[in-house]
Amino acid sequence: MSRTAVMYLDRKVNPPKFARRFLRGLRELEAGAEYDLVYILKGYDEDETCAVLQEHEALGGKKALVFYVPDTLFALGTMQVVARQLVHERILIFLSWTRLETSNWIVPFEKAMDMYPNCGAVGATGSYEMRDERTSYPNYHVRTTAFMMKRELYLEMTEGRLGTGTDEYELEAGPDNLTKRMMARGMNPLVVDRFGAIYDVPEWYLAGTFRRGEQEGLIASDNRTYDYEVSGPWRRRYLIRRAWGKQAKFTWKGWVARLKSAWRWHYGER
């Protein structure tokens, strides 16, 4: 058994192309370290076969530990339920829209956790964005997809806090969010990029992984990073300032490049 469980959420209601794309990334991109794959079938009937996972394993992909959960649970609550049944030291959580973008994708997470064992969490993306009027700027939060935590810490810090969709948003970016709880306990949540750089909270803006430049540092993309990638000038300016404040530099992307990004998201194999 590896010390890290890579947990992926496959929602039955989602188009299968998203799970297929994630699994293709696992096969084609070297992880750089050992891990166990935990594949969560959300909304599937108990013991229902998953064609995408069968295809992955038939193509030589890593065998998965499979868990079935009802679709009544929300994403982080689902991870909580499954994490209770694991014995791994660390968990690396990927939600259903995730696409791996680089080889050695697990290495920056493991490196940061090894170097800074009291960091609490390591994310591929973070933001200062305010959730609402209750959260003053900067509202520090590691985004809750493509992030690593010690399994027992995740269970401890999410206990009794998950149950509804609102609970999940509050846990990520509310006034008493997961990141702020860690910081209140002397922990120092980190963001990492695909090049191996590690960013402390005041430096997240420099990471180039979320709503900055062309997000060149991304280890794993998702629907929110895609939204920024294909946005026109005015929306992109809005998203940049939401994440990083009015002082953040604005860069725009031409319409041809945006069309290419949209095609890759909707039709690209990986």
- What does pLDDT average to over the chain? 95
- In 3D space, the residue among 197, 194, 260, 195 whose CA is nearest the CA of residue 229 turns out to be 260
Q: Has residue 109 got a pLDDT over 90?
A: yes
Which tens digit of pLDDT belongs to each residue from 203-218? 999 999 999 999 999 9
pTM, entire model: 0.95
Q: Which pair of tokens denotes residue 11?
A: 């929602």
The rounded distance, in Å, linking the Cα atoms of 239 and 219 is 20
Which tens digit of pLDDT belongs to each residue from 22-61? 999 999 999 999 999 999 999 999 989 999 999 999 999 9
Task: Note the maximum CA span of the chain.
Answer: 52
Angle between helices 151-158 and 75-83 in degrees, nearest 10: 130
Give the domains, in start order, of the chain with CATH numbers.
4-209 (3.90.550.10)
- Residues contacting 243, CB < 8 A, separation 6+: 127, 128, 129, 210, 211, 212
Which tens digit of pLDDT belongs to each residue from 50-83? 999 999 999 999 999 999 999 998 999 999 999 9
Is residue 258 within 8 Å of residue 229, measured between CB atoms? Answer: yes
- In 3D space, the residue among 259, 68, 101, 86 whose CA is nearest the CA of residue 194 turns out to be 101
The vertex-113 CA angle with 19 and 2, nearest 5°, equals 60
